[in-house]
């Protein structure tokens, strides 16, 4: 029986446009369903699900890569009611070292739209937590995820990858400056909530934009956010009226459809005396109908548009990223060593070697301190210890070789290695 392999299936901002990503994105309500459904699949041993604005990825441990990949593709098509052709071309499938490297790179923000943006680590941690809550993770992915967190931490502290201004907020401010000149006194309306959107508002406030309005489906939540920016909470239904007042709108709701459509802007520009209006749509699926961009003096940007806006920053960070890649490379090799050790046969061999080594050491000690004792006695002691070792190792060996543990196999091997301390060759248990 084979042990699990690590496979990663996904698409991101580099391979798929927002139209495709928003179709496949899993909402927080989808997550438990998907995890449960995946766990029921016989081909899937372990699973973690990542869905952010820029990527939808499924990380698996499986014994049959090609079957598992098919299963996931069919599941996606089925669950999202989308035909496979739409997303299949954008999908990438990595396995083994490549999958490990990819996860390390994603978590370290080396694969982000803006290299070095700090939000991704938190998002990945949340996704992992969610998978753990559903007991979808086993020994392989647990180890992989924990490794990826420490790699991310190293990359952040040892390189200057996060030194430049943060992603979306930076782009929003820069574009705002190109439209309005100064941001001082420009009114901002935040629709919805979310880390990225709030960061953007924060950045605008630092650039002296004011006043701030917050519209949230839950008025209380809106009040909370408004308080933080010393702004005003408005009701969600009032958004239309406020389009006449504000200069910058940042939208980030979890709505499955457009929150602002072309018709909402009827009469708005006249009422605004044609003052320019800058709309930033951070949500996936999108909140703002892209058609709105065609209205004179209205500039509507979605998350992909912002991608180009931060191109230069990416270049600045490229150098630092290269150092990050080296840290990732080393981590991949380390992980491979551990992962290879999860094979059953080498583990059994190592286990026997280790015990044999202990036996030999102890025999030598005993014979050294033995004053009397003929050759025969010594041979008897030798046979005794050999038999002991053989008998003791008999059931563990059988157990490890046994078929039908399925996803537990890696776990048992891992436990064995830890119980007998097989990964630290210098410590032979002499103490």
User: Does the footprint of other proteins cover residue 50 (CB under 8 A)?
Assistant: no
Cα 124–Cα 128–Cα 134 angle in degrees, nearest 5: 150
User: Does the footprint of other proteins cover residue 175 (CB under 8 A)?
Assistant: yes
Q: At what angle do helices 119-133 and 195-206 cross, to 10 degrees?
A: 160
User: Does the footprint of other proteins cover residue 383 (CB under 8 A)?
Assistant: no
User: Does the footprint of other proteins cover residue 276 (CB under 8 A)?
Assistant: yes
Task: Say how far apart CA 128 and CA 120 lie, in whole Å.
Answer: 12
84/178 with CB nearer other proteins: 178
Contact 256, 267 (CB under 8 A): no
User: Does the footprint of other proteins cover residue 391 (CB under 8 A)?
Assistant: no
The strand order across the sheet containing 277-281 reads: 232-234, 212-215, 188-192, 248-252, 277-281, 298-302
User: Does the footprint of other proteins cover residue 179 (CB under 8 A)?
Assistant: yes
24/209 with CB nearer other proteins: 209
User: Does the footprint of other proteins cover residue 180 (CB under 8 A)?
Assistant: yes
CB of 245 to other proteins, least distance (A): 14
CB of 271 to other proteins, least distance (A): 10
Neighbours of 15 (CB within 10 A): 15
Q: Is 53 a catalytic residue?
A: yes
Rg (CA), the chain: 29
Span of 198-206, 207-215, 281-289, 304-312 interacting with other proteins by CB under 8 A: 304-312
User: Does the footprint of other proteins cover residue 177 (CB under 8 A)?
Assistant: yes
User: Does the footprint of other proteins cover residue 303 (CB under 8 A)?
Assistant: no
CB of 254 to other proteins, least distance (A): 25
Task: Say how far apart CA 148 and CA 328 lie, in whole Å.
Answer: 9
Task: Say how far apart CA 411 and CA 392 lie, in whole Å.
Answer: 21
Question: Which residues between 96 and 135 bind other proteins (CB under 8 A)?
Answer: none
User: Does the footprint of other proteins cover residue 265 (CB under 8 A)?
Assistant: no
The DSSP element (H or E) to which 417 belongs, if any, is: helix 409-419
Span of 36-44, 63-71, 172-180, 230-238 interacting with other proteins by CB under 8 A: 172-180
CB of 52 to other proteins, least distance (A): 22
Task: Say how far apart CA 278 and CA 309 lie, in whole Å.
Answer: 14
Question: How many chain residues interact with other proteins (CB under 8 A)?
Answer: 22
User: Does the footprint of other proteins cover residue 275 (CB under 8 A)?
Assistant: yes
Neighbours of 179 (CB within 10 A): 15
Span of 174-182, 313-321, 376-384, 413-421 interacting with other proteins by CB under 8 A: 174-182
Task: Say how far apart CA 313 and CA 113 lie, in whole Å.
Answer: 11
User: Does the footprint of other proteins cover residue 266 (CB under 8 A)?
Assistant: no
Q: Which residues contact 323 (CB under 8 A, 6 or more apart)?
A: 158, 159, 161
Phi, psi of 310 (to 5 degrees): -115, 15
Q: Which of 7, 53, 136, 300 is catalytic?
A: 53
User: Does the footprint of other proteins cover residue 301 (CB under 8 A)?
Assistant: yes
Phi, psi of 50 (to 5 degrees): -115, 125
User: Does the footprint of other proteins cover residue 308 (CB under 8 A)?
Assistant: yes
CB of 168 to other proteins, least distance (A): 15
Neighbours of 316 (CB within 10 A): 14
Which residue numbers are catalytic?
A: 53
Q: Which residues bind other proteins (CB under 8 A)?
A: 175, 177-182, 270, 272-276, 293, 296-297, 299, 301, 305, 308-309, 311
């Amino acid at each position: 029986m084979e042990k699990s392999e690590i496979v990663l299936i996904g698409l991101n901002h580099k391979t798929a446009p927002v139209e495709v990503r928003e179709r496949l994105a899993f909402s927080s309500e989808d997550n438990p369903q998907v995890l449960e459904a995946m766990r029921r699949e016989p081909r899937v041993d372990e699973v973690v699900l990542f869905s952010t604005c820029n990527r939808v990825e499924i990380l698996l441990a499986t014994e049959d890569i090609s079957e598992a990949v098919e299963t996931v593709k069919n599941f996606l098509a089925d669950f999202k009611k989308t035909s496979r052709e739409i997303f299949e071309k954008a999908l990438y499938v990595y396995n083994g070292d490549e999958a490990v490297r990819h996860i390390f790179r994603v978590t370290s923000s080396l694969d982000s739209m803006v290299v070095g943006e700090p939000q991704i680590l938190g998002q990945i941690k949340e996704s992992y937590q969610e998978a753990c809550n559903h007991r979808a993770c086993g020994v392989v992915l647990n180890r992989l995820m924990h490794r990826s967190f420490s790699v991310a931490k190293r990359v952040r502290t040892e390189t200057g990858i996060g030194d430049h201004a943060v992603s979306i907020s930076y782009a929003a401010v820069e574009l705002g400056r190109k439209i309005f000149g100064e941001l001082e006194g420009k009114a901002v309306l935040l629709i919805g909530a979310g880390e990225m959107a709030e960061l953007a508002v924060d950045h605008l406030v630092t650039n002296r934009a004011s006043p701030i309005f917050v519209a949230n489906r839950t008025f209380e939540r809106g009040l909370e956010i408004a308080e933080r920016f010393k702004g005003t909470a408005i009701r969600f239904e009032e958004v239309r009226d406020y389009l006449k007042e504000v200069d910058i709108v940042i939208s980030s709701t979890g709505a499955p459809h457009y929150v602002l459509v072309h018709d909402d802007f009827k009469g708005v520009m006249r009422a605004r005396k044609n003052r320019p209006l800058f709309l930033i749509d951070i949500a996936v699926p999108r909140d703002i109908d892209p058609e709105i961009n065609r209205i004179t003096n209205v500039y509507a940007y979605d998350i992909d548009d912002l991608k180009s806006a931060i191109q230069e920053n990416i270049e600045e960070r490229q150098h630092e990223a290269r150092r990050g890649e080296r840290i990732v490379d080393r981590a991949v090799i380390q992980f491979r060593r551990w992962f290879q050790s999860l094979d059953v046969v080498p583990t059994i061999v190592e286990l026997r070697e280790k015990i044999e080594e202990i036996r030999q050491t102890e025999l030598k000690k005993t014979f050294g301190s033995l004053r009397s004792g003929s050759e025969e006695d010594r041979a008897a002691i030798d046979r005794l210890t050999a038999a002991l070792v053989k008998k003791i190792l008999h059931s563990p060996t059988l157990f490890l070789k046994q078929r039908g543990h399925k996803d537990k196999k890696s776990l048992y091997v891992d436990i064995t290695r830890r119980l007998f301390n097989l990964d630290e060759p210098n410590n032979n248990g002499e103490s």
